[in-house]
A and B are shown apart, each in its own frame.
Chain A
Amino acid sequence: MSITYMLRDWTHYRSTHPSADINKDHPEGYKWAMAIDLDACTGCNACVVACYAENNLPVVGKEKFAHGFAMHWMRIERYWNDEDIETPQHGAQFMPMLCQQCEAAPCETVCPVGATNHTPDGLNSQVYNRCIGSRYCSVNCPYKVRYFNFYNYPEQEHAWPDPLPMQLNPDLTVRTKGVMEKCTFCVQRLYEAKSKARTDGRLVKDGEVTTACAQSCPTGAITFGNLLDPYSKVAKMWRQQRMDLYKDVQDKDRDGNPENIRGYRVLEELRAYPSIIYLERVRDAQA
């Protein structure tokens, strides 16, 4: 009976994504996307804490962190350069890694219950109350940005002793054990903004809503917005960087990127079509 809806709501995105027409895939007129400038990112962790504050992320404590149960949806990775690893004369390399909200997300197709699927505004949703915790999505995620509730954190001594629960954001749930979770592009904020705009009979304006990480970033390294709004800051950056959401080899890269444009997507060759572009970190050779 509701097979029709199932086909329309899930298989449509899977089978047609990414199609030729970005507008067709996003009927609501929104395609949320991000651009992260690695030359501006200083690795200060402000975004990480902002995410903890906004999204009710549990603090798991040392013993569980040691087991690899950390729940940071946004994590700052610090790599060393292979060349000068003895004395890193050109500093370290920082990578703010979060869910890439792939257009053809590997996690979506494998979930047995369809707890993670694609929304009309181009997000890779994670429906907590539908998740049965098979963890197949995590297996299939190339970026390993999905975090599983290995324990019932609301009951953990570390997470929220009174009165800390009063800080919890009522716009989203606190996840219990056995549920997979991940960065949602602060969907609760997007939802609120869209609803507001809808009441005024318009689309969300650029800068009207942003994610917690982008908002806090002291250097403004993170730009968030609607890719379908040609005047949005993020759309401009994607254009500047010659990045096409629906290409797995960008034109500029096909001809060897002669203009040295910095935009790229992580593990792009896997054809997941991430919604986040990174701008290459810059180092001065003379220095």
Chain B
Amino acid sequence: MTRFSRIVNGPFFARCCVAGLAFFAWSALGISSAVAGDKVEQPIEFPHDIHAGKMGINCMYCHTYARRSMVSGIPPLQKCIGCHQNIPSVRDHPRIQKLFEYWEKKEPIPFKKVHDLPEFVRFNHERHIQRFYFWQKRPVQEVCGFCHGDVKTFTVAEKVKPLTMGWCISCHQKDHLINATGSETGHGPHDCWDCHK
């Protein structure tokens, strides 16, 4: 008995327990994967902070495809020009000049993908926007921000959420309100084929 208790209280055994628990937590809760990507070098350093923050423009004004399509895509160049040709005040800013250069050349801007999932993963923007913005009536920046972070504080987008499967699941198995008014709840799908292709 005494020997037993000595073993249990002994430092070695304790360490083992800690290590075991640590592994369990690591593997089970996916602490491992809570890593943010580094800032990505973009051809034009688009200031989200000004547009989303200062101006308070609705995300979907520019990211117009997100609510209609699986992929949100990048706003067409046209979109930027549409506004900026009517904003002479900032025309001489280097970023804007660069923008117009592309426009003159009718060339697409080679932005880099910031949130790039493996190609066997199918993330459906439309479904999530529909579900949380249109049905549940959450504020748009909260809905988008849940995965894309608080863009009001960025210039170019940064990857701030792990976007790992564990992270997706952790949200999919929560119960969310179906719509703003009712109290009915439901969780995300757990069928493999809903997210894997």
User: Which residues of A line the B interface, CB within 8 A?
Assistant: 1-2, 5, 8-9, 117, 119-120, 123, 125, 127-130, 171-173, 187-188, 191-192, 195, 198-199
Q: Which residues of B contact A198 (CB under 8 A)?
A: 127, 130
Residue A119 contacts which of B120, B126, B193 (CB distance < 8 angstroms)? B193
B115 contacts partner chain A, Cβ-Cβ < 8 Å = no
The tally of residues in B whose CB lies under 8 Å from a CB in A reads 19
Most chain A beta-carbon contacts within 10 A, residue among B127, B169, B193: B193
Q: Is there an interface contact between A188 and B192, defined as CB atoms closer than 8 Å?
A: no
Most chain A beta-carbon contacts within 10 A, residue among B28, B169, B190: B190
Residue interface bits B153-197, CB-to-A below 8 A is 1, else 0:
000000000000000010001000000000000000011111011
B124 contacts partner chain A, Cβ-Cβ < 8 Å = yes
Q: Is there an interface contact between A130 and B122, defined as CB atoms closer than 8 Å?
A: no
Which residues from 124 to 170 on chain B have a C-beta closer than 8 Å to any C-beta of chain A?
Answer: 124, 126-127, 130, 169
* Known contacts A9-B190, A117-B192, A128-B120: A172-B127 contact under CB 8 Å: no
Which residues from 55 to 92 on chain B have a C-beta closer than 8 Å to any C-beta of chain A?
Answer: 70
Q: Is there an interface contact between A9 and B197, defined as CB atoms closer than 8 Å?
A: no
Q: Is there an interface contact between B193 and A187, defined as CB atoms closer than 8 Å?
A: yes
* Known contacts A198-B127, A198-B130, A199-B126: A129-B193 contact under CB 8 Å: no
Chain A nearest CB, measured from B192 CB (Å): 4
Q: Is there an interface contact between A129 and B173, defined as CB atoms closer than 8 Å?
A: no
Q: Which residues of B contact A129 (CB under 8 A)?
A: 118, 120, 196
B38 contacts partner chain A, Cβ-Cβ < 8 Å = no
Chain A nearest CB, measured from B195 CB (Å): 10
Q: Which residues of B contact A119 (CB under 8 A)?
A: 191-193
Q: Which residues of A contact B70 (CB under 8 A)?
A: 192, 195
- Assembled-state Cα–Cα distance A128/B195 (Å): 12
B119 contacts partner chain A, Cβ-Cβ < 8 Å = yes
Q: Which residues of A contact B191 (CB under 8 A)?
A: 9, 119-120, 125
Q: Is there an interface contact between B192 and A130, defined as CB atoms closer than 8 Å?
A: yes
Chain A nearest CB, measured from B163 CB (Å): 15
Which residues from 86 to 124 on chain B have a C-beta closer than 8 Å to any C-beta of chain A?
Answer: 118-120, 122, 124
Query: 9 closest pairs, A vs B, by CB?
Result: A127-B192, A129-B120, A125-B193, A173-B120, A172-B197, A9-B190, A119-B191, A127-B196, A119-B193
* Known contacts A119-B193, A187-B193, A188-B197: A195-B28 contact under CB 8 Å: no
Smallest CB gap from A117: residue in B = B192
28 inter-chain pairs at a CB distance below 8 angstroms, sorted by A residue, are A2-B169, A2-B173, A5-B173, A8-B190, A9-B190, A119-B191, A119-B192, A119-B193, A120-B191, A123-B193, A125-B192, A127-B193, A128-B120, A129-B120, A129-B196, A130-B192, A130-B196, A171-B197, A172-B197, A173-B119, A187-B197, A191-B193, A191-B194, A191-B197, A192-B70, A195-B124, A195-B126, A199-B130
Q: Which residues of B contact A130 (CB under 8 A)?
A: 192, 196
Q: Which residues of B contact A5 (CB under 8 A)?
A: 173, 190
Q: Which residues of A contact B28 (CB under 8 A)?
A: 1
Q: Which residues of B contact A173 (CB under 8 A)?
A: 119-120, 197
Chain A nearest CB, measured from B176 CB (Å): 15
Chain A nearest CB, measured from B125 CB (Å): 10
Q: Is there an interface contact between B196 and A128, defined as CB atoms closer than 8 Å?
A: yes
- Assembled-state Cα–Cα distance A272/B127 (Å): 34
Most chain A beta-carbon contacts within 10 A, residue among B126, B190, B196, B197: B197
Chain B nearest CB, measured from A203 CB (Å): 16
- Assembled-state Cα–Cα distance A2/B126 (Å): 28
- Assembled-state Cα–Cα distance A5/B188 (Å): 12
- Assembled-state Cα–Cα distance A5/B192 (Å): 12
Q: Which residues of B contact A2 (CB under 8 A)?
A: 169, 173
Smallest CB gap from A171: residue in B = B197
Q: Which residues of A contact B193 (CB under 8 A)?
A: 119, 123, 125, 127, 187, 191
Q: Which residues of B contact A120 (CB under 8 A)?
A: 191
- Assembled-state Cα–Cα distance A129/B193 (Å): 11
Smallest CB gap from B135: residue in A = A201
- Assembled-state Cα–Cα distance A199/B128 (Å): 11
- Assembled-state Cα–Cα distance A218/B192 (Å): 34
- Assembled-state Cα–Cα distance A171/B197 (Å): 7
- Assembled-state Cα–Cα distance A172/B121 (Å): 9
